[in-house]
Amino acid sequence: MRNIRLILAYDGTRYRGWQRLAGADNTIQGKLEQTISRLLAEPVQVHGSGRTDAGVHALGQVANFHCQSAMPCPQILAGLGQYLPEDIGVLSCQEVHPRFHARLNALSKTYLYRVWNSTEPCVFQRRYVYRMPEALDTAAMEQAAAHLLGKHDFRAFSTGKSGKKSTLRTIYRLEIFREGPEVRFLVQGDGFLYNMVRIMVGTLLEAGLGRKQDIPEIFAAGRREAAGYTVPASGLFLQEVTYP
Amino acid sequence: MRNIRLILAYDGTRYRGWQRLAGADNTIQGKLEQTISRLLAEPVQVHGSGRTDAGVHALGQVANFHCQSAMPCPQILAGLGQYLPEDIGVLSCQEVHPRFHARLNALSKTYLYRVWNSTEPCVFQRRYVYRMPEALDTAAMEQAAAHLLGKHDFRAFSTGKSGKKSTLRTIYRLEIFREGPEVRFLVQGDGFLYNMVRIMVGTLLEAGLGRKQDIPEIFAAGRREAAGYTVPASGLFLQEVTYP
């Protein structure tokens, strides 16, 4: 069996997220499996580095699948370019070690969140940003962001059921920068709980609006209500996944 | 009567073009007139610098309308931002001389045409480019473009009925530049015939693909069939209109 790794970009607007749903045609994973299976004339299962939610985009999602087919990678790339819908693009296609697994081997993920922080209209970017025209205090956001760095129990920054699984995660990098009318958040970590990036950004935006956000207190409380709101999916991009 | 000038950006994808059509809701002019009339509580007629066709976008369309309303311009701007659909944006709103007319006073128009000249997917730009992955000979395109500059009878570069109206137009500027995976065409002229920019770009692209395009011969022939094909609307943007 060959093991093929794909790097993917997609516009999540019209999809119900990454994960295949029985009977639903509009998931990224489902669309990929359908298209690859048809191209290679054999059933394949695609493993993503993680799920992205409904409406979330990707600039560099990583996935892999096993196949018997001998079709060369450049031909798979061209075939997928031809048969996938225009809102899913394959940036690279390479044969990798048989034991490579996009989810299990991931070392870190980087997410980008785009806020349109201007009263100007954003006609051409409207599907890819969250519009918030109010003035944001960048210094206050950076101060709060510093407390999110490092290893913490991010239970309060998740809407997942708590269960028994660990909610400890490590944030390696959290940068906030202005680019023209946008404020962008770049977050790298060893993994993210359900809705974690969107709640982190919502909490930082509240700090930027002048509502005091005491991050250590939120960690200590460990309750979802202690943190800020969940920002919309439209501004969120899975930018990069790293591997050993 | 006050005279108000608007500068507009719009995503033309879901519209049947600029010009109001009886019974149709999906034109830019129709949508503007409807929204402004409701906002000012009086019927208004909006004059654009010119029509853009179905699917064509604008970065800086100029329009004007007369009204009795005393509503201050910043309030009109904010109201339109609130009530117009997200794919039509008002960049500026100013009161101007009563005799200003967006179409009659226009001195020049600049159009941008974006070609995605790469085999890479263009997931997020797909509505705003024309995809042509084949290698383009920029020198050949520039050589052909030089012949389009200046005052010519552009009859061959139009699909309009010839009629009695003059088909003489002057091209002031025609630049071709590469920006990452894109080749961009920037054309400024004193006016453009129906489909003229799209046929000019189609003719230049054919030159870039190695099919000889003898521009002086096309002018001399004066027949539509002598020029290149009409490129799709998706890549075309009305970028700027200048006035005295």
Q: What would the mean pLDDT of A17-23 be, rounded to a whole number?
A: 89
Give the separation between CA B167 and CA A40, rounded to whole angstroms. 54
Q: What would the mean pLDDT of A111-140 be, rounded to a whole number?
A: 96
Binning pLDDT at 50, 70 and 90, where does residue A212 land? confident
- Whether A239 and chain B come into contact, CB under 8 Å, resolves to no
Q: What would the mean pLDDT of A129-139 be, rounded to a whole number?
A: 96
Mutation pick from A124, A125, A128 vs chain B, by most beta carbons of B within 10 Å, is: A124
Would you say residue B20 has pLDDT above 70?
A: yes
Give the separation between CA A182 and CA A76, rounded to whole angstroms. 37
CB A18 within 8 A of CB A11: no
Residue corresponding to tokens 């590469």: B178
Question: Cα–chain-centroid distance for residue B238?
Answer: 3
Binning pLDDT at 50, 70 and 90, where does residue B162 land? low
Give the pLDDT of residue B164.
Answer: 74
Mutation pick from B84, B92, B119, B123 vs chain A, by most beta carbons of A within 10 Å, is: B123
- Whether A10 and chain B come into contact, CB under 8 Å, resolves to yes
Mean pLDDT of chain A: 95
Q: Classify the C-alpha dihedral A96-A102-A104-A108 as positive or negative.
A: positive
- Whether B120 and chain A come into contact, CB under 8 Å, resolves to yes
Kindly report the pTM of this predicted structure. 0.92
Q: Please report the ipTM that was assigned to this predicted complex.
A: 0.90
Q: What would the mean pLDDT of A176-183 be, rounded to a whole number?
A: 95
- For residue range B166-221, list pLDDT tens digits in order: 999 999 999 999 999 999 999 999 999 999 999 999 999 999 999 988 999 999 99
Mean pLDDT of chain B: 95
- Strand, coil or helix: B72: coil
With CA atoms as reference, report the closest residue to B187 among B240, B121, B126: B240
Binning pLDDT at 50, 70 and 90, where does residue A165 land? confident
Strands B130-131 and B108-116: parallel
Q: What would the mean pLDDT of B19-44 be, rounded to a whole number?
A: 93
CB A144 within 8 A of CB A226: no
Binning pLDDT at 50, 70 and 90, where does residue B10 land? very high
Facing residues of B4 across strands?
A: B65, B95
Q: Helix H segments across A24-156?
A: 28-40, 73-83, 138-146
